[in-house]
Amino acid sequence: MAPRKKKKRRAPAQRRSGAAIAEERRAKTEAKNAAVRAQLEPLAPGERPTPVTIGAIVATVLAAIQIPLYLLWQGDERPAVPGFLIFMGLMIAMAWGMWHARYWAVLGFQALLGLAVVILALLLAIASNIWAALVCLAIVIPGATLFWFMVKAMARIQMPDRPESLR
């Protein structure tokens, strides 16, 4: 049996409190955040990041395909009109907002995208056949990728203009 190593204990004067450790971690995190913020370039007037443009196109397509899909549903399977109109309005508003690089639109679209990715990833776990699994993956993979790239785009949209002295 190998001998046990003794833990080195700090002398009482060297021990740090939990608050001191938390403050040190906060300072390190803020330093990293400041470094990342310094590398971000604010949007030029009229500029729109590529992931936001893709999101606007996706929202427009989702709104556009709802009308023929709604007309294809028959009888009791057809969704209620208020739900249909709310979804259409939401997609149109988000498409417009993202096209104009509005933070609220990107944040709202990203929330819906995240919800869809989580739900479909959970459904993937119980997929009963290969087609169901492929449909889930066909939405989860591009959806999660778009979500990931929209994070940095949101940071750039939120950034205020830098003064000339800091550029």
Angle at 47 between CA 44 and CA 52, to 5 degrees: 135
pLDDT of residue 165: 47
CB neighbours (10 Å) of residue 150?
23
Tokens (6 digits) for 81: 């009109």
Predicted pLDDT at 79: 83
Return per-residue pLDDT of the chain as tens, 167 residues: 666 766 666 555 566 778 888 888 888 988 887 787 777 777 777 788 999 999 999 999 999 999 898 888 887 878 888 999 999 999 999 999 999 989 899 999 999 999 999 999 999 999 999 999 999 999 999 999 999 999 988 888 876 555 554 44
Which token pair is 77?
Answer: 């399977």
pLDDT confidence of residue 139 = 94
CA–CA dist 137, 121 (Å, integer): 8
- How would you class 65 by CB atoms within 10 Å of its CB: exposed for 0-12, middle for 13-18, buried for 19 or more? exposed
Q: What is the pLDDT of residues 122-136, one digit of tens each?
A: 999 999 999 999 999
Report residue 18 as tokens.
Answer: 């939990």
* 16-34 residue pLDDT tens: 778 888 888 888 988 887 7
pTM, whole model, 2 decimals?
0.71
